[in-house]
Structure 1
Amino acid sequence: MYRFLLTPRWLGILALTLVAATVMVLLGNWQLSRYQTRSAINDQIDAATHQTPNPLTEALPGPGSAPGTAGQVPPKATEWTRVTTTGRYDSDNTVLVRGRTVNSRVGFEVVTPLVLADGSAVLVNRGWIPPASGGATAQPEVPATPTGQVTVVGRVHMSESRPDTPQRRNGYIETRRIGVPQLAAELPYPTYGVYLLLDEQNPPADPVFAAIPIKHENNWQNAGYVIQWWLFALMTLVGFGWLARREAHGPPDRSAVPEDRLGEPTSTSPA
């Protein structure tokens, strides 16, 4: 009854079905890998929240000795870990990162190099501030930088992707994205290869700064795609089976009258 499956036409349909199902399974596996990667990032963020900060010099590789250069990028596993260090802010090289949104408002993030006792520096993202009146790109009034020794606790953050070229304007370095190597080239000392998102500071930070929120990865979206692609693969195989069965048995004849109803009188309307 199913010998027709060996014909070229049906073998071609079967091959296309298997290729389509295989591609869908592979897409589901890729989304599963994305789900696992994003879940691991979320676990890192959550674990760091309750972590005792480690000294910067112990947690990260040093920046080297050449001024204007960024140090080695640490392993990905160090991202979001909490570190602490003490130094002096270099307000002459404050960086304004424009076009940043916090609580649905567009403004600037303020990144200031913290110069350590050995002469190297680490970039510290001190927080978000609103722009000056005149629009979202109007250079803000930056609160005074603390003088003297400052102790910070922050979370390790890697350079952002697609960094632009920093430019100096009105006494500040401006950029759209925080690319540590690009910013390090503007500075007169060696810089660590990552920057810090400020958690705590002593003396305390100016209250005008809003903390930069740490967003969790949307891993459940990937989980949904996994189920979607695997269901599509299953439906493709089930659809082939349904077509093959329909070809073997033919469509049901709905016009046929059941034998047990033959000879029954035709119903008439009541008088």
Structure 2
Amino acid sequence: MYRFLLTPRWLGALALTLVAAAVMVMLGNWQLDRYHARTAVNERIDAGSRMAPAPLRDALPAPTGGAGSVGAAPAERVEWSRVTATGRYDADNVVLVRGRTVESKVGFEVLAPLVLADGTAVLVDRGWIPPAPGGAVAMPQVPDLPAGEVTVVGRVHPSEPGGGEVSRRDGRLETRRIAVGKLARELPYPLHGAYLLLDEQTPADNPSFRAVPIGHTNNWQNFGYVIQWWIFAAMSLVGYGWVARREARRAAGLDTPKAPVDRAAEPAASA
């Protein structure tokens, strides 16, 4: 009954079905890898919220270049971990990051370089503030930096991809993305390869800042895509088998449609 499957037409259909199923399985495996990667990020975020802060040097290697250079990126295991560092803020190189949303409101994140005793610096994200009246990009009123030595506790945040243009407005650096490498070129000292999301500071920072929330990644969306692609792969194979079986039954005369009944030829029902 199934010898027709050896014909070129059916062999070609089988090859296309197998290729399509294999591609869908690979797409499912790719999404599974992304699910595991995002789950690991969420676990590091949760672990970071419970851990005691470690010295900055335990998480981030010191930059070894000259002014304007950037240090190595943090290892994945230390991303989102809590660290502490002591230094002095550089008020001449405050960075405004525009177009940042907190609680559905668009404003600015404010970064300040914390210059350490060895002459290197790490960017500290002080938090979010709203723009001045006049629009989402209107220059905000930035609270002054504390003078003298400060000690910060913050989360290690990897540099953001891209970055776009870095410009100066009213004496402050301004950008759209926190790309540490691009910002380092505008600064007169070596910069660490990640920045810190501020948790605590001594002396305390201005209360007008809102803490930048750390959102968990949507790993379950990727898991849903895994199931979706694997189901599609199974459906393609089942669909090929169903069409082949229907063709075999038709060739064997098992699925011959019944002749329609001529209702007009039936005798009238007796009264």
Q: Which TM class, normalised by the smaller chain length?
A: over 0.9
CA distance in 1, matches of 2:6, 2:182: 64
User: How many angstroms does 1:255 deviate by?
Assistant: 2.6
| TM-score using structure 1 length | 0.92
Deviation for aligned residue 1:77: 2.1
Q: Distance in 1 between matches of 2:206 and 2:269?
A: 93
1:1-271 matches, within 5 Å, as 1-64=1-64, 66-250=66-250, 252-253=255-256, 255=258, 268=269, 271=271
Identity %: 64
Amino acid aligned to 1:73: A
**What's the CA shift string for 1:148-202, capped at 9, x where partnerless?**
1111100111111111231111111111111112211222222111110111111
Q: Give the whole-Å Cα distance in 1 for the aligned partners of 2:217 and 2:267.
A: 69
Q: Secondary structure at the match of 2:100?
A: strand
CA deviation after TM superposition for structure 1 residue 37, in Å: 0.8
CA RMSD across the alignment: 1.7
Residues 83-116 of structure 1, C-alpha deviations (whole Å, 9 max, x = no match): 0011111111111111111111111100001111
Structure 1 spans left out of the alignment, 5+ residues: 258-264
What is the rounded CA distance, in whole Å, between the counterparts of 1:92 and 1:18 in structure 2?
63
In structure 1, C-alpha distance between the alignment counterparts of 2:269 and 2:212, rounded to whole Å: 82
- Give the residue type in structure 2 aligned to 1:89: Y
> How far apart, CA to CA, are the structure 2 residues paired with 1:244 and 1:181?
59
Deviation at 1:266, TM superposition (A): 7.3
Query: Is there any run of 5+ residues in structure 2 with no aligned partner, and where?
Result: 261-265
C-alpha displacement of 1:74: 2.4
- Matched residue count: 263
Letter paired with 2:226? V
Counterpart AA for 1:154: G
Alpha-carbon separation, structure 2, partners of 1:158 and 1:99? 19
Q: 1:58, 1:5 → 2: CA distance?
A: 64
Secondary structure class of the residue paired with 2:173: strand
TM-score (norm 2): 0.92
Question: Which whole-Å CA distance do the structure 1 matches of 2:224 and 2:57 have between them?
Answer: 41
Deviation at 1:65, TM superposition (A): 5.1
Separation of aligned partners in 2, 1:228 and 1:121: 47
* Equivalent AA in structure 1 for residue 44 of structure 2: Q
